[in-house]
């Protein structure tokens, strides 16, 4: 039965891997397609980030440059938006959309968007949990064995389940990340039109790029869910409580 369960896990994981590959290919395809289309305003990714922040009263966030393609990210603690080589100096619709997406995150922090704040709060828990999860499960197993010899106690099992909960923080992070990214893209499209960086007829292209990127976060969420369920089932099996 255990081998059958493991086979199901492998099938689910394989499906997630295939979906992740498809999502990544779609992002590259959409970006490559619209990276060749110059936006009518002629603004670059850097220009876009700067204008959108100024238009929304943000003056304490810097704009930096980082190597690679689609490695753009906002670093809130360092107060900087890093744009990739493919975005920084490019005046394509794709580059402008990606830059605006990062400013969407800036605005989330500025507005105190609750899901963005929740994701930020979950990060240290997820890092801490991934480190402590397995040790807690092992300690729980040891306690369960030692205590079971003298009394009927579930202390070991409950300790192990705390480890499972900590491990699950990574899944919670992925779960919260998806709506945060979708909201950043929604904000980006609104700001691009309001600031006249993109015209209405250019918006579908930007939407295609941002929607493709969202698929990668969905793939991460599904993969995280599969690993979490596998870990939970593994612990329940160890304690003989699969039912």
Nearest-angstrom CA–CA distance, 231 and 229: 5
Low pLDDT (below 70) residues in the chain: 1-4, 147-153, 241-243
pLDDT recorded at residue 243: 45
Phi, psi angle pair for 40, to nearest 5°:
-60, -35
Would you list the domain boundaries of the chain?
A: 2-238
Residues tagged active-site:
102
Q: What is the pTM of this model?
A: 0.88
Helical (H) or strand (E) element with 49: helix 45-55
pLDDT recorded at residue 242: 44
pLDDT recorded at residue 158: 84
pLDDT recorded at residue 151: 54
CA dihedral 75, 76, 81, 83 (to 10 degrees): 20
CA dihedral 110, 111, 113, 116 (to 10 degrees): -10
pLDDT per residue as tens digits for the range 182-226: 999 999 999 999 999 999 999 999 999 999 999 999 999 999 999
pLDDT recorded at residue 1: 45
Residues 238 and 38 sit within 8 Å (Cβ to Cβ): no
| 182 token code pair | 């979708």
pLDDT per residue as tens digits for the range 21-38: 999 999 999 999 999 999
Which is it for strands 73-75 and 80-84: parallel, antiparallel or unpaired? antiparallel
Residues 74 and 23 sit within 8 Å (Cβ to Cβ): no
pLDDT recorded at residue 183: 98
Nearest-angstrom CA–CA distance, 58 and 43: 19
């Amino acid at each position: 039965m255990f081998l059958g369960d493991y086979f199901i896990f492998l099938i689910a994981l394989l499906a997630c891997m295939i979906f992740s590959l498809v999502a990544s290919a779609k992002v590259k395809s959409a970006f490559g397609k619209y990276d060749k289309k110059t936006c009518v305003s002629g603004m670059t990714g850097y220009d876009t980030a700067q204008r959108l922040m100024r238009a929304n009263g943000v003056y304490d966030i810097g704009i930096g440059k980082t190597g690679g393609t689609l490695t753009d990210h906002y670093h809130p603690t360092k107060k900087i938006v890093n744009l990739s080589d493919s975005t920084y100096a490019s005046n394509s619709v794709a580059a402008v959309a990606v830059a605006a997406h990062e400013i969407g995150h800036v605005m989330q922090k500025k507005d105190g968007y609750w899901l963005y704040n929740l994701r930020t709060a979950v990060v240290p828990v997820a890092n801490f949990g991934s480190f402590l999860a397995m040790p807690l499960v092992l300690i729980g197993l040891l306690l369960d064995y030692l205590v079971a010899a003298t009394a009927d106690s579930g202390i070991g099992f409950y300790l192990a389940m705390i480890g499972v909960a900590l491990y699950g923080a990574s899944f919670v992070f992925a779960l919260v990340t998806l709506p945060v990214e979708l909201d950043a893209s929604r904000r980006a499209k609104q700001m691009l039109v309001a600031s006249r960086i993109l015209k209405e007829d250019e918006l579908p292209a930007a939407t295609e790029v941002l929607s493709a990127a969202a698929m990668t976060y969905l793939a991460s969420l599904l993969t995280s869910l599969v690993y979490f369920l596998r870990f939970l089932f593994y612990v329940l099996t160890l304690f003989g409580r699969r039912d």
